Structure 1
Amino acid sequence: MTRTLHITIGTRPDRNGLEDTLGAIDEDEDVDPKPSRLSIESLATFGRIFRPTNLELLEAIVEHNPSSIRELARLVERHPPEVTENVHELADYGLIELEDNGRAKRPTVWYDEFEFSGDVPIRGLDTDSDAPVAP
């Protein structure tokens, strides 16, 4: 079974099913801890999260299953502090998980693919940029 993370851009978070999930938690029922949806508020945020260096990290995690962030840094031939910063950003957005592996943190990916959707209007884009906007 393919596990897909559905990503929308420029939309408010989808709260459908939140009430049911909270009720299930209150009743001590099993709840899937992995979200199937991620809402990204702006194109600038999308660009930052899915920049080539982060995509390279995701690919290396899936292909090589590193036991630590340090090992991941070796795989992509980058400095561990930079990779650590990127990995924590990916974890903050729920794109990866960091599992305790002794003293190290092991990055893991729970999905097999992304599916992107959402309407992105040309006018009024929230780019979080200081660049001048043409009239």
Structure 2
Amino acid sequence: MTENQTLEVRLDSDEQHSELLEDIRALERGEEVDERHVLVLDNEKELQRLLSPSNLALLRAIRHHEPESMRGAADLVGRDFKEVHRNLTELDALNVIDLQEDGRSKRPVVRFDEIDIELSLDADDADAATV
């Protein structure tokens, strides 16, 4: 990865929706819109899962060592292949990593070098109280 990429992580909010609508309107007017990579999660449990110590260790290991396969990533973190496969599949579904096909294996590539988290402490969300 040649250019620093930041992933913005937010919980579902009205502010996020209004920013998205404004970006759409700007594009319709032919205006340039800054490229942003935003992951909107539904609740704090999803945020907690994304940022679990095992997922962070996995992301860091992949980012620094660039394993050739999912099995190689599992070996790097010293975890069971099935667990790592499940974690990588979830991270791929969230577009936090890419799983690039390389013959019979899939090579995990971390898409970002930084994750910024936006979390309101004023949330009325019932999930916020259960985390």
Secondary structure (helix, strand or coil) at the match of 1:83 reads helix
Compared CA separation, residues 106 and 35, structure 1 to 2 (3 A)? farther
Whether contact under 8 Å (1:9, 1:120) holds in the other structure is: no
- CA change 1:124–1:111 in 2 (3 A) is closer
SS of the equivalent of 2:127 reads coil
**Mapped partners of 2:93, 2:119: distance in 1:** 21
Show the counterpart of 2:76. 75
Q: 1:99 to 1:52 in 2, by over 3 A?
A: same
User: Matches of 1:128 and 1:94 in 2, distance apart?
Assistant: 27
TM-score (norm 1): 0.75
Gaps of 5+ in 1: 22-33
**Which has the larger share of helix?**
2
Report % sequence identity.
30
Could you tell me which residue of structure 2 aligns to residue 4 of structure 1?
6
Q: 1:58 and 1:115 mapped to 2: Cα distance? A: 15
Aligned partners of 2:79 and 2:13: how far apart in 1? 34
How far is 1:35 from its partner? 6.1
In 2, Cα distance between equivalents of 1:88 and 1:41: 19
RMSD: 2.7
Q: Deviations over 1:33-82 (max 9, x none)?
A: x9611111111111011100000110011010000000001111111111
* 1:96/1:109 contact within 8 Å kept: yes
Aligned residue-pair number: 119
